[in-house]
Amino acid sequence: MSENGSLRRGRPGYDQQGILDVAIAAFNEYGYDATSMGVLAERLGLSKSAIYHHFASKDEILDRALDTALSALERVVDETDAAGSRAADRLDRVLRGAVHVLVDQLPSVTLLLRVRGNTEVERRALGRRRAFDKRVTALVAEAQAEGTLRSDIDVRIVERLLFGMINSIVEWYRPGGEEDADRLADDVIAIALDGLRMPTSNRVEQLLG
Amino acid sequence: MSENGSLRRGRPGYDQQGILDVAIAAFNEYGYDATSMGVLAERLGLSKSAIYHHFASKDEILDRALDTALSALERVVDETDAAGSRAADRLDRVLRGAVHVLVDQLPSVTLLLRVRGNTEVERRALGRRRAFDKRVTALVAEAQAEGTLRSDIDVRIVERLLFGMINSIVEWYRPGGEEDADRLADDVIAIALDGLRMPTSNRVEQLLG
């Protein structure tokens, strides 16, 4: 008998993660405010008290859901910081890592991107998102200073446009589609760092000059 | 006395466009479903029947609001089609034009980007958005075929990532900020078409090779 109860007969059991997954899907479908604990209990086929056995409140479920996405994104920057190579290479790794987090944690990142700061839990999540953005912006600034990235665009605008592109993937990406995360990360890097335009000899001279 | 009534004394009058602007702001703030005609009337300081004098229904207000954004975007592609230059140059103009539409029509584009297809009006708007996306995708394909854009990325992915970047501007752009639309359009083109990375001589050889 497997530990997660997949061979258990009758009504499927839910561990904490299982409840979390169903809750995130419901929040994304109906909105957090419109999803009551009663609605959640119904979707899970559990009593409300069975949910309260795992989570103190709906707010705590949201907190855990947002933490899943934020921790994964923060880990990407932490690990890259430790790599210690050129800033442009570290940025390359952060962008690739972010695409992977987005694909692997699609539901919780989708939820994170919809947070508007209506509750204390949401405001804390927005604070962590801003801190993440700041670290990426600092990396862009470092790469501009070392001369590996063009320096004629404001670093904050660069960061916003890069993550605008990456975050938009949640709008259309569906698991099991044609593009896997590695391929999608390659595409993002190709556009963002190398550009779509084939260089003319003029352009190459201009860049080298 | 000016025609739009700006010199009229007492309670400000609203023409159709004035009602539309207030309605779009309310839809963006509270959501379309949560904004009743009663709420709109209160915000305008008008009776509901005064609004019905201009619009047959809330649905018609939404229709007009979405048409503002969609018509502006469609005009960008129409005008570029007529230009008849290389596909890569036309794409450049479409991307710049889209950034301008977004900045000039920020509230109605914001509303358009939130449409999920819950009503007939919304589904029609989504259909026009898809038609727009298809025309841009065809332009990317043409530019790949003429050899001016790199052809190792699926054209649909290119279109989605480009407009993911451009559309994300609604999340943070505020009129009167440091970046005007021309500068922002330059930034988008710089990243999307030329890329952020300064070329190494290796990279240049590889591109020229």
Residues B110 and B184 in one domain: yes
How high is the pLDDT of residue B2? 43
> Where residue A1 falls among pLDDT bands split at 50, 70, 90?
very low
Give, to the nearest 10 degrees, the angle between helix B87-104 and helix B106-114: 100
What is the tens place of the pLDDT at every residue in B13-67? 789 999 999 999 999 998 898 899 999 999 999 999 999 999 999 999 999 999 9
Count: domains in chain B = 2
How high is the pLDDT of residue B9? 41
* Inside any domain, residue A76: yes
How high is the pLDDT of residue A175? 86
CB-based contact A161 B188, cutoff 8 Å: yes
- B203 or B13: which leads in pLDDT: B13
* Inside any domain, residue B11: no
Respond yes or no on whether ipTM tops 0.95.
Answer: no
**Cα nearest neighbour of A154 on chain B:** B187
Residues A94 and A119 in one domain: yes
Residues B152 and B92 in one domain: yes
**Cα nearest neighbour of B92 on chain A:** A197
- Show contacts of B29-33: CB within 8 Å, 24+ apart: B32/B58, B32/B62, B32/B111, B33/B118
The CATH number linked to B50 is 1.10.10.60
Residues B203 and B132 in one domain: yes
Residues B50 and B68 in one domain: no
Give yes or no for residue A39 having a pLDDT over 80. yes
The DSSP letter of residue B209 is -
Give yes or no for residue B88 having a pLDDT over 90. yes
* Inside any domain, residue A207: no
- Interface residue ranges in chain B relative to chain A, Cβ cutoff 8 Å: 88, 147-150, 152-154, 157-158, 160-169, 171-172, 178-179, 184, 187-188, 190-199, 201, 203-204, 207-208
Residues B38 and B78 in one domain: no
Residues B50 and B113 in one domain: no
Residues of chain B with Cβ-Cβ distance to A197 below 8 Å are 88, 148-150, 193-194
* Inside any domain, residue A38: yes
What is the tens place of the pLDDT at every residue in B74-87? 999 999 987 778 99
Mean pLDDT lowest for which of A5-9, B124-128, B178-182? A5-9
Comparing CB atoms, the residue among B169, B179, B194 nearest residue A195 is B194
Residues B135 and B38 in one domain: no
**Cα nearest neighbour of A200 on chain B:** B208
- Residue B197, classed as helix, strand or coil, is strand
What integer best gives the mean pLDDT of chain B? 89
Alpha helices in A84-177 (DSSP H): 87-104, 106-114, 120-145, 155-167
CB-based contact A191 B167, cutoff 8 Å: no
Residues B64 and B138 in one domain: yes
* Inside any domain, residue B202: yes
The CATH number linked to B66 is 1.10.357.10
Domain span at A140: 58-199
* Inside any domain, residue A209: no
Residues B72 and B161 in one domain: yes
